Structure 1
Amino acid sequence: MELIFLGTGAGVPSKGRNVTAIALTMLNERNSIWLFDCGEATQHQILRSSIKLSKLEKIFITHLHGDHIFGLPGLLSSRSFQGGETALTVYGPVGLANYIRTSLAVSGTHLKYPLEIVEIEDELVFEDATFRVTCKELEHGILSYGYRIEEADKTGALDAAGLAALGVKPGPIFKELKEGKTVTLEDGTVVNGSAFIGPSKKGRVIAIFGDTKVTPNELAVARHADVVVHEATFAADMGDMAGEYMHSTTLEAATLAKNAEAKQLIITHISSRYSRDDNQSLVDECRTIFPNTEIATDFAIFEL
């Protein structure tokens, strides 16, 4: 899995940062891509990346401010012309369906693929055999969500050496043993597959936050996450303004990551008042509290 940051700015685009959009690529895990938020010109950013819209399976919208949704109608339309034929589901706050359907209707846009719009009514957003997505409400003056993406634990590795010692050769029988089945060999030896499977590998956890001021709900989303992606619209000395506009500072994002016992923090949604030259000072502020912090820039890729 990889996180690809397509836009890392706050409020309005700047020359150095487009507005918010984050892609989670899962080509090995489910041969698809998920998108979190879709600010204006996201499809243009995608043209400069390795992302294919035909692989886009789900879009998760954190909240309905323009810098997080104004790119949706164009992207949904363009997907029809870029080989997108499989179903696409868009999740987000109440009001999202009206925005999308109205935009498509008044522009006469006809999609060539099934589109499902799910307005969130519960903390469980999506779940299948491989991933579970939950959410919590944040505090931003408008309904805003933080998403927790949990990968299912993976079965442990098969002890091929131990099986070889019993005379079991690689082949179809390995698949049965990997599934924990009991197999009888040609010589009558009974092999219990579960005895040759190593410890399961814990699935990865990713926390992606919408815009928010500090709120207790954040901890449940970020707890023990492998990666926390959190806005840091303002530097530490702008705490009053951050509170007024219901955003977070660098130190507040870092404090959350520390309290959640997360492994890594990536800060994004940086105010246009800060230039690329300010990146190091912003990330250094975070590192005073949470050392394993990085700052996202447009087109930055983080492997998970």
Structure 2
Amino acid sequence: MQITFLGTSSGVPTRARNVSSVALRLPQRSELWLFDCGEATQHQFLRSDLKVSQLRRIFITHMHGDHVFGLPGLLASLGLSGVCNGIDLYGPDPLKDFVESALRTSSTRLGYPLRFHRVSRALERDGTVLASDGFLVRCAPLRHRIPAFAYRVDEEPRPGRFDVSKAAALGIAPGPVYARLKAGETVTLDDGRQVDGRQLTGPDRQGLSITYCTDTVYCEEAVELARGTDLLIHESTFSHAEADLAFQRLHSTSTMAAQVALQAGVGQLVLTHLSPRYTPGNAKRPEDLLSEARAIFPETVLARDFLTLEAGRQPAAAMV
């Protein structure tokens, strides 16, 4: 699973950071999922290597403008491109009214279907938002000024590694049969022998997982949802020195994000949703927030627009 940050500022854009949006690319399926869609997200797509034509699902955390104002424009452009077969949208209850109102009052007609899914209904059950095609998406409520939700994406366990040397020792020639054996099937060879693919593969490998958590002050629900995840993307609107302001506005500090990561036992933390007050020339810079978080959770990365990460990996360049 590959993650690209399309917007990492909070509230309003800056010269270097657009407002919230994160793209999740599933290379094995040539598919994109989007988490939040702040103003000008479609422009960020144009500046990235991502293909908006691969967009299939959009998950909205809450209805504040810096997380949704880019949605009508993006959907309209997809309609004009003529390459979209439909979009599934997940989010708070008002999401459907917001999108349909914007499209209706602007006389915008889409040539593809929109399918809306209310996240609140998932919480009435077990929190499962989506379970299909090898992925499980769950949600949890956050503590913000309006209803807000975090999302976790888990990849189902992957087949173990196929032992080519064992297959060769059995006299099985390379070809399409290898794919069936790797999938664990029992295959009848041309000479009549039956070979159980499970004998030629190692144990299943744990699937990857990411958790996206914004906007919220520190809360136990975020810790529980993120527990054991490979990559936690967590808002860091304020520095530790402004904790009082964070509690007033129900946003997180750098140290709150790090505490969530530490208590949840995640593999890596990425700080995003930084206040515009932390820009070059001001008393504190984004790097100061990174240092605060690393004092608690060393495996922390500072997001920037167009940063791309692979879940489960920690490229050295991203740690700068």
Q: Same fold (TM over 0.5)?
A: yes
> Per-residue deviation at 1:185?
4.1
Q: Which residue of 2 aligns with 1:100?
A: 99
The Cα offsets for residues 162-218 of structure 1, whole Å up to 9 and x where unpaired, read as 121121111233233223233344555442221111111111010001200111101
Please list, as runs of the form range in 1=range in 2, the aligned pairs for 1:1-304 lying within 5 A after superposition: 1-26=1-26, 28-120=27-119, 121-122=121-122, 123-187=127-191, 189-276=193-280, 278-304=285-311
- Which residue identity is paired with 1:255? Q
What TM-score do the two structures reach when normalised by structure 1?
Answer: 0.96
**Distance in 2 between the 1:224 and 1:54 partners?**
32
Mean Cα deviation higher: 145-154 or 44-53: 44-53
Contact 1:53–1:84 (8 Å) recurs in 2: no
For 1:30 and 1:185, the matched residues in 2 are separated by: 30
Q: Distance between the aligned counterparts of 1:85 and 1:48, measured in 2? A: 20
Distance of aligned partners of 1:181 and 1:8 in 2 relative to their CA distance in 1, 3 Å threshold: closer
- Alpha-carbon separation, structure 1, partners of 2:74 and 2:188: 55
The runs of 5 or more residues in structure 1 that have no matched partner are none
The equivalent residue for 2:318 is none
User: Could you report, residue by residue, the CA deviation over 1:58-79 in whole angstroms, capped at 9, with x for unpaired residues?
Assistant: 0000000111001111111011
- Runs of 5+ in structure 2 lacking a partner? 312-320
The structure-2 alpha-carbon separation of the partners of 1:165 and 1:95, relative to structure 1 and needing over 3 Å to count, comes to: same
* Cα distance per residue 1:81-111 (max 9 Å; x no partner): 2343211111100110000000000000001
% identical equivalent positions? 43
Q: TM-score with structure 2 length normalisation? A: 0.91
SS of match in other structure, 1:234: coil
- Provide the secondary structure at the position in 1 that maps to 2:301: strand
Partner amino acid for 2:295?
T
Partners of 2:297 and 2:280 lie apart in 1 by 21
- Number of equivalenced pairs: 303
| One-letter amino acid matched to 1:157 | R
Cα RMSD (Å): 1.4
**How big is the shift at 1:29?**
2.2
Secondary structure of the equivalent of 2:145? coil
